[in-house]
Amino acid sequence: MSARAIHVIGAGVAGLSAAVRLSETIADTTIIVHEATAQAGGRCRSYYDHALDMVIDNGNHLLLSGNHAAMAFLKAIGQDGALSGPPHTEFPFIDLATRTRWCLRPNPGRLAWWVLSPSRRAPDTRLREYLAPLNLLRAPKGTPISAAMTCSGTAYERLWRPILLAALNTEPPEADASLAGAVIRETLFMGGKAYRPLIARAGLSATLVEPAIRHLQARGATIRFEHNLHALQFAGPRVSALDFGTDKVLLASDDAVVLAVPPFMARTLVPDLSTPDAYRAIVNGHFAFVPPPGFPPMMGVVNATVEWIFAFPGRLSVTVSGADRLLNVPREQLAETLWREVAAVAGIAEELPPWQIVRERRATFAALPEQNARRPGARTRWDNLVLAGDWTATGLPATIEGAIRSGNAAAALLNRRAAGALNRPS
């Protein structure tokens, strides 16, 4: 008798985390990951860029030390400690309009005494402005951030807007307060040790993706690239076949499917599925320029187009979130604007080095209350079909942490079902 099979559709972080979790928790089961493209990682991947002549990530991805599911995933795939960041939690900033520089330096513990120390805070901010996000924790479901806290003033511009925009990829006033509250609860409210900034200096693929593939293959899983699912076929309460166009996989009675594709694709595959359907862009500018000595690994910029600057070996990269307004700006013009700002921040020559602009139009779903309400859980009305993806109802915005948790949730659901089937009298 052949072993039970679980088919994971989509080798983004959500699909990979589901597959890794299943490979560790479920016995006598073959895991097959089907990925439409030639490369795993989805929106979290690296590639060789000809303009820069180096491998870069599709976007600069920031994790925080309190992202416990991401940390557990890295540990599971043998990449514990592979992310890099400053030894202590700190966020250097510059206001490009006034050239004021500061460094947020939270203390590690939960008792946030650092907000009492003006030298650890943003300049010209008051203590009570640091309590503003408390209201996000109690915000009623479906309300925007602007209903829970004041979205103006110096502390908002120098602290809360940069943090919330980076976390939600949506302008904070209109973004969902409960999603912001979840981020605050898991990071800022846990103390500085929970929001030490971490990046994959060796690249997203080398750190998060390729080790996961190797881990899965070592456990007997199969990864099929360029294997694009065209349709799911249903028979009563079950998915009965996977139609890949060129070939079709018939599912045995105890086979199951984790659908870990983006929401726009999930909607075409699953009838009557509610998913987010509005997105926000992220724009990254990459510049082949060796970071000047002492330039921090990551720096926040306010009153500029650039929001964050990341220093990589041989490269300075910038991120702009909620960046739909930049989608139609000519690439050269955008590169020049971003570089002029980077040069001003870093005190370097304005002559444009080799550059690349990467615009991800549908980087994340728009973290609006009405979009958050459209997110389904892992469970579907079909017994052997579960969903994963950063857009499912994780309670978090679309992030690596959320994607990994969604994969874990999908795996847990299949595990419970497998246990239930084993316990049923035959």
Site for ligand FAD in 378-397 (CB under 6 A): 389-390
In whole angstroms, give the CA distance from residue 188 to residue 209. 28
User: Which residues neighbour 213 within 8 Å (Cβ) at sequence distance 6 or greater?
Assistant: 11, 16, 40, 223
Residue 217 has which token pair?
């293959």
Spatial contact of 346 and 317, defined as CB atoms under 8 Å apart: no
Count the site residues for ligand FAD by CB under 6 A. Answer: 37
User: What are residue 355's phi and psi, to 5 degrees?
Assistant: -140, 165
Nearest approach, Cβ of residue 128 and ligand FAD (Å): 30
Q: Check binding of 12 to ligand FAD (CB under 6 A).
A: yes
Burial (CB count within 10 angstroms: exposed 0-12, middle 13-18, buried 19+), residue 128? exposed
Work out which of 400, 410, 411, 414 binds ligand FAD, going by CB under 6 A: 400
Q: Check binding of 265 to ligand FAD (CB under 6 A).
A: yes
Work out which of 7, 43, 120, 375 binds ligand FAD, going by CB under 6 A: 43
Q: Check binding of 334 to ligand FAD (CB under 6 A).
A: no
Q: Check binding of 341 to ligand FAD (CB under 6 A).
A: no
User: What are residue 270's phi and psi, to 5 degrees?
Assistant: -115, 120
Work out which of 6, 20, 23, 42 binds ligand FAD, going by CB under 6 A: 42
User: What are residue 135's phi and psi, to 5 degrees?
Assistant: -65, -25
Nearest approach, Cβ of residue 33 and ligand FAD (Å): 9
Residue 66 has which token pair?
């309190």
Q: Residue 323 in 3-state DSSP?
A: coil
Q: Check binding of 36 to ligand FAD (CB under 6 A).
A: yes
Residue 265 has which token pair?
């694709």
Q: Check binding of 95 to ligand FAD (CB under 6 A).
A: no
Q: Check binding of 203 to ligand FAD (CB under 6 A).
A: no
Q: Check binding of 398 to ligand FAD (CB under 6 A).
A: yes
In whole angstroms, give the CA distance from residue 366 to residue 151. 18
Spatial contact of 241 and 250, defined as CB atoms under 8 Å apart: yes
Residue 27 has which token pair?
């016995």
In whole angstroms, give the CA distance from residue 388 to residue 398. 12
Stretch binding ligand FAD (CB under 6 A), from 30-38, 103-111, 214-222, 329-337: 30-38
Q: Check binding of 9 to ligand FAD (CB under 6 A).
A: yes
* Nearer of residues 58 and 372 to ligand FAD, judged by Cβ: 58
Site for ligand FAD in 157-186 (CB under 6 A): none
Stretch binding ligand FAD (CB under 6 A), from 40-48, 79-87, 295-303, 347-355: 40-48
Site mask for ligand FAD (CB under 6 A), range 218-257, x = bound: ----------xx----------------------------
* Nearer of residues 201 and 344 to ligand FAD, judged by Cβ: 201
CA 96, distance to chain mean position in Å, is: 27
**Among 364, 408, 419, residue whose Cα is nearest residue 386:** 408
Contacts to ligand FAD by CB under 6 A: 9-15, 34-37, 42-44, 58-59, 61-63, 228-229, 260-262, 265, 282, 284, 360, 363-364, 389-390, 398-401, 403
